[in-house]
Each structure stands twice: as structure tokens, then as C-alpha cells.
Structure 1
Amino acid sequence: MFAARSGLIGCGYGGDDMKIAIMGAGALGGYFGARLAQAGHDVWFIARGAHLAAMQAGGLRVISPKGDMVLDPVQAVGDPAEVGVADVVLFMVKNRDVESAGDQIHPMLGPETFVVTCQNGVSAWERLGTAIGAERVVPGVARIPGEISEPGVIRHTAPMDTLIFGETDGSRSARVDRLHEALAAAGTTPVVAGNILHELWGKFCSQSALATLTTLMQCDIGPIRDCPESAKLFRDAIAEAERVGRAVVDGLPEDMLERDWAFVSSLPPTMHASMLDDFRRGKPLEHEYLSGDVVRLGARHGVPTPIHSVLYAALKPAADRLAAG
């Protein structure tokens, strides 16, 4: 294990350090922010509750197969106004908080600031664009397993730490190149997508099925895959979401279902969606932005969604109860 202190110039960015705000410094934001801070960037973590208090008192610890680290002290605050203008905001709040957090980040937005969304689902980038201006938003897709194992401690549970992002028009901009270089030099796995909407839907179709099924069945992915009946349900739910996607986005890859199922098949049997963890901890669910969006977008575009309609309805009473607190 090694210690890295905020403000020290480390390896990686050749003097062109960035000021980076992590809006929602949970497992995802905390991990990427810690790697970027270790590489010498001016990283600010915006968090709340016990996790924020622990970081302010004792720093941020990351336990990872790619190398443990401790940031102490760490620039952790509860109010984005304390950060000032950032070069980039990694926007890693829960889906249900997109609108409220979008209003809160205005003090961090300068003329050139851009914001990378990393929520599950396919709607967050458009919703945030309504709050701060679509030209500022760069949609992203994160593929990284991790959790806050205790306040101030993030456990990264597998070597995968991919962050995919890109301009919505498919162009290769200087701002995404700069962030790509920073993340790569920090030891993570960034990818600039040629078609970020395809990437969003590629994850969404499998994630919408995975999250709802593991939460409803209260189990890891292994037993679901091992049972022929539930495995067929899983694959059919992905296929149904992809049919909706083809009505929404042009040119989704023809082999998308096979690629999605190959990815699902490669996951460790003990893996489950974070929505199941939220359910077990009594936290609100992202159910509306997963199967819920499949159902609503299907209805809007005239695509039947019998599987996700059942999954959505079956989970809704519990989701409503948790949302009500």
C-alpha cells in the first residue's frame, strides 16, 4: 500500500494537470477520483453523510486488485460551491438524483467545463443537459465492480475499471482526448467511443435485465444463469430491450444480443447488480430508469415489452416503499 497526498504532482500528465470534481464520490466516483488524485490532478470529492465525514477525518482508502492506496488528506466537501470552477465534472450520482445534483453543480461550471455522466440507463445525459445545457454533457458508461465497504473505504473487487465516454455526434474532441489521457496515465482503462449512444444501449439492455432479475430473485447471477428457465428469461429480457433500442437509436450492431450475452456469461457467478445491494440496505432503487425506461420507451415507440412490463410491475411495490423512506 502507498499513500498519495492531494496536490502532489505524480506520474502521468506531463504538467497539464486538470481540476476534476467528483460529483457523487461513492464507490465509482471515489475509485476514479482516487486514481486521478494519485496521478497528480487537483481532485475534489463531493459526498455526503458518514462517507463524507470519514473522508474529512481520515482520508479515502481504496482496496483494489490494481493496487491499494490511501489519500490523506483528501479534498472532500459537501457543497459544490466550495470547489470553484473545474475543468471537468465526473457526474456519478444515482439516477434519481440527476436533476437535483445538476442544479447543485452550477458553481463548478466555467465557460469550458464539461460534465461526464456515468449513470445506469440511457436517459441521464439528456436529463442533465436540460439542467446545465446539452453542450456541456459528455455521456459515459462505467464498467467497474465496487462498493463502499465502510465509510471512507472503497473496495474495488475485480481488475476491470473501464470508463467509456464520447461526444454525442461521434466527433473526437480535444476535451475528451484530454480526459482520456489523464485517466490512462492514472492507470485506469478509458475508452473514447465512436458512438457513445450505442455503448449506452449496449450496457443498458443487459443491465436492465440483470438489475431487475437479481433484485427480484434475491440472488447472484450464477444461479440465474445455471437454471435453464431463468437463463432463457434473462436472455429474452435482453433481446426485448434491444428491440426497443433499435426503435430509438439508428444502427445498433446486429450482433449486439450475442455480445451482451457473452458479457453476461463471462461475469463471475457471485456477481449481482448494485440495485440488489440497495434493496438489502433499504435504499431507493433505480428501477424506474432500468425496466421502467424499457417499458416507457417501448410504449412511446410502439414496441411491445411484455417481459419488462412484468418485471417492472413485480418490483414496483418494493421500489415505491423504499422511495418513500
Structure 2
Amino acid sequence: MNVAVVGAGALGCLFGGRLAAAGQDVWLLHHRQSYVDRLNEDGLRIESDVDGLESTTVSIPATTDADEVAHVDLVLVFVKAHQTRAALEQHKECISPETRVLSLQNGIRHYDHLVDFVGERRALAGVTYQGAVVEEPGVVRHTSDGSSTFGGADAEFARKAERALVDAGFPIKRVDDPLPAIWSKQLISLPIKPLAALTRLPSGKLVEQEELVAFMDKIIMEAERVAAAKGIEIPNEEPLETVIEICEAGDSHRSSMLQDVLAERKTEINAVNGAIVELSREEGVDVPANELVTWLVRGLERSYLDGR
């Protein structure tokens, strides 16, 4: 299978590198030339903290220009959620009328973005619980080996992609409808990400305060009402308990949205809680807790992004 990975960050390099090591024909696409140069000069090193998976170095072509790639069978999208449309447009030269596009990103509406860009027949989406961090350009540490779930209208191609990912060592679950899995994961992200960004607390500290836990519960319950209004059945029956367990297990972990704020980058707030606000208006559901954290994080962004 010919694969292009749009967004050669931690997860993009992890998935692209493992696929290449398993014999797939893979290109990595990144926006920064110096990053691409390091990958092309030194190859990609995946350092594994996962039992049963060895560290590996793979030679894998990287570029900033999709014209070099030509058309591929599959595009994997691993950019920040708010960058999806722009990234697909920037790299459209590798997307043919038969290319399938798969996103395992954060956010509620990444499937919608793919459908808008390539149509429902060619869009695949889902979630991943894989964990990875970039230690330096060309070196990625694989920190956790969680499962990935995805699906879409083209079940035949989804099975082909599933086989390639399983052969690369990823635990995969393929489904016909990816929306329940997407919403289930986002119910966990919705309370953690904005509150971590606003309080600057690591995950474990977030759930030590009863008031914050109660506010997390409000955020989750509002999202559940929006999902119910849209006819989406979420498999996670106790999301708040899951949030508390995850936060306690990753006591010192800093949410990606907190990392973005500390680095003074644009966050994914519009794709997470902001998306709940948008959908709530479409369905006529009140979501005051999600509205509040969306407005506050947007205001926090303005404090360091205005004038750039």
C-alpha cells in the first residue's frame, strides 16, 4: 500500500515508521524544511517503552511538497484538529480521486472535515490510544500501545487498511460507524483539556479538588445530551469515572492543551469544547459549562497570540 502521512509529529512518525518497517511504501509530510532534512539525513528512530515492541530505525522519505509524493492509496492525517482542512488543501497533490483519507485525530468533527474534503465514500475516521512523543527531530519515543478504532463507508478498503496496520503491530478494531468511538474518547478529553489549560495543573491535581471534578461532570453531561440529540449512542457508560482513573494514573501528565498554552501555541479548543457548542446550537441544547471553558481558553489564547 502507498501511504502518505500528513503531519509527521509524534503519532504521524510512529504510525508511518511502523508501517514502513512492515514493508509499506510510506512518505512523511511536514511543514518545516529543517525537520524534513533531519528525517532524510538520519532516518527515523522509534524508541520503544512498550513491552514486546523493539526500538527500530527506518529510512523513510520525508518532504514538505506533496508533488514529490504523487498519488497514494491512503492518506493518514495526524495534524492538530484545527489544521486539518488547511493541511489537506496544502497536500492535495498526493490525493487522487481514488485515495482514501483516514484521521485518528482528536476532536469531535474530524470525520466531518474529511467527508467535506473527499466525500463520504473515501473518508475513514476513528480514534487511537497510542502514545508517543518527539524527543528531537527524527527521534520518537513510543510510550503506550493502546488500541485504535476506525471505520467508514468503504468497508472493503477499511479491511485493507486494518490488515496493514495490524501487520505493523498496532492493535486495531474496525467498525462500520466510527462516531460512537470518536464521541467516547472525546467525553474524556472535553473536561481534562480546557481545565488543565486554564488551571495549569497536571492531570492528577485536577481531580484532587471536588469543585473541579463537579465541573468536569457538568461538561460531560452536556456533551452526552448533545450526542443523544444527534442519535449517537456512546459506549462509555461512566465517563467521569474513566476521567478520574486516567488523571490519577497519569498523575504528572500535562494535557496537550496545557502544553500548547505553555508554549504559547494555538490550542484545539475549537475542535473539542467549541465543537460541542456548535453542535448544541444546531440541536437546541444548552451547554453553559462547555461555552464557559471555550470562551475562557479562547481569551487565554488571545493573550499571547494577538499581534503575531
What whole-Å deviation, never above 9, does each CA across 1:245-281 have from its counterpart, x for those lacking one? 111233334xx34056325514422233212112212
Q: What is the Cα deviation at residue 188 of structure 1? A: 1.2
Q: Hey, what does 1:85 align to over in structure 2?
A: 71
Q: Hey, what does 1:153 align to over in structure 2?
A: 139
Query: How has the CA–CA distance of structure 1 residues 89 and 174 changed in structure 2, closer, same or farther, with 3 Å as cutoff?
Result: same
User: Residues 232-251 of structure 1 correspond to what in structure 2 (within 5 A)?
Assistant: 232-251=214-233
User: Residues 218-229 of structure 1 correspond to what in structure 2 (within 5 A)?
Assistant: 218-229=200-211
Give yes or no for contact 1:224–1:231 (8 Å, CA) kept in 2.
yes
Identity %: 28
Give the 3-state SS of the residue equivalent to 1:219 in structure 2.
Answer: coil
The residue type equivalent to 1:57 in the other structure is E
Corresponding residue to 1:42 among 25, 29, 54: 25
Q: Hey, what does 1:3 align to over in structure 2?
A: none
Give yes or no for contact 1:20–1:41 (8 Å, CA) kept in 2.
yes
Q: Hey, what does 1:61 align to over in structure 2?
A: 45
CA distance in structure 2 between the partners assigned to 1:147 and 1:68 by the alignment:
14
Between 1:263-272 and 1:238-247, the stretch displaced more is 263-272
Q: CA RMSD in A?
A: 1.9
Corresponding residue to 1:320 among 284, 302, 305: 302
Query: How has the CA–CA distance of structure 1 residues 257 and 226 changed in structure 2, closer, same or farther, with 3 Å as cutoff?
Result: farther
The residue type equivalent to 1:140 in the other structure is G
Q: What is the Cα deviation at residue 323 of structure 1? A: 4.9
What whole-Å deviation, never above 9, does each CA across 1:281-324 have from its counterpart, x for those lacking one? 22211111111111221122111111111111221112234555
Query: How has the CA–CA distance of structure 1 residues 263 and 217 changed in structure 2, closer, same or farther, with 3 Å as cutoff?
Result: closer
CA distance in structure 2 between the partners assigned to 1:29 and 1:322 by the alignment:
28
Which structure 2 segments of 5+ residues have no match? none
User: 1:262 and 2:242 equivalent?
Assistant: yes
The residue type equivalent to 1:79 in the other structure is D
What whole-Å deviation, never above 9, does each CA across 1:161-192 have from its counterpart, x for those lacking one? x3211015xx7x22111111111111111211
Give the 3-state SS of the residue equivalent to 1:226 in structure 2.
Answer: coil
Q: Hey, what does 2:213 align to over in structure 1?
A: 231
Q: What is the Cα deviation at residue 51 of structure 1? A: 2.5
Q: What is the Cα deviation at residue 39 of structure 1? A: 0.7
Corresponding residue to 2:124 among 132, 138, 155: 138
CA distance in structure 2 between the partners assigned to 1:264 and 1:155 by the alignment:
26
Give yes or no for contact 2:264–2:305 (8 Å, CA) kept in 1.
no
The residue type equivalent to 2:42 in the other structure is G
Corresponding residue to 2:274 among 264, 277, 292: 292
The residue type equivalent to 1:83 in the other structure is V
CA distance in structure 2 between the partners assigned to 1:206 and 1:323 by the alignment:
27
Give the 3-state SS of the residue equivalent to 2:253 in structure 1.
Answer: coil
CA distance in structure 2 between the partners assigned to 1:303 and 1:85 by the alignment:
43
CA distance in structure 1 between the partners assigned to 2:261 and 2:250 by the alignment:
21
User: 1:209 and 2:194 equivalent?
Assistant: no
CA distance in structure 2 between the partners assigned to 1:277 and 1:311 by the alignment:
17
Corresponding residue to 2:89 among 89, 93, 103: 103
CA distance in structure 2 between the partners assigned to 1:111 and 1:246 by the alignment:
35
Q: What is the Cα deviation at residue 127 of structure 1? A: 2.0
Count of matched residue positions in the alignment of Structure 1 and Structure 2: 301
Between 1:195-204 and 1:244-253, the stretch displaced more is 244-253
Q: Hey, what does 1:190 align to over in structure 2?
A: 172
Which structure 1 segments of 5+ residues have no match? 1-17
CA distance in structure 1 between the partners assigned to 2:158 and 2:239 by the alignment:
26
TM-score by length of 2: 0.91
Q: What is the Cα deviation at residue 131 of structure 1? A: 2.4
Q: What is the Cα deviation at residue 200 of structure 1? A: 1.0
CA distance in structure 1 between the partners assigned to 2:175 and 2:253 by the alignment:
26
Give yes or no for contact 1:64–1:159 (8 Å, CA) kept in 2.
no
CA distance in structure 1 between the partners assigned to 2:105 and 2:302 by the alignment:
20
Give yes or no for contact 1:92–1:117 (8 Å, CA) kept in 2.
yes
User: Residues 5-20 of structure 1 correspond to what in structure 2 (within 5 A)?
Assistant: 18-20=1-3
User: 1:124 and 2:104 equivalent?
Assistant: no
Q: What is the Cα deviation at residue 62 of structure 1? A: 1.5
Query: How has the CA–CA distance of structure 1 residues 310 and 257 changed in structure 2, closer, same or farther, with 3 Å as cutoff?
Result: farther
Give yes or no for contact 2:129–2:145 (8 Å, CA) kept in 1.
no
Give the 3-state SS of the residue equivalent to 1:166 in structure 2.
Answer: strand
CA distance in structure 1 between the partners assigned to 2:184 and 2:276 by the alignment:
13
Corresponding residue to 1:25 among 1, 5, 8: 8
Give the 3-state SS of the residue equivalent to 2:207 in structure 1.
Answer: helix
Give yes or no for contact 1:21–1:89 (8 Å, CA) kept in 2.
yes
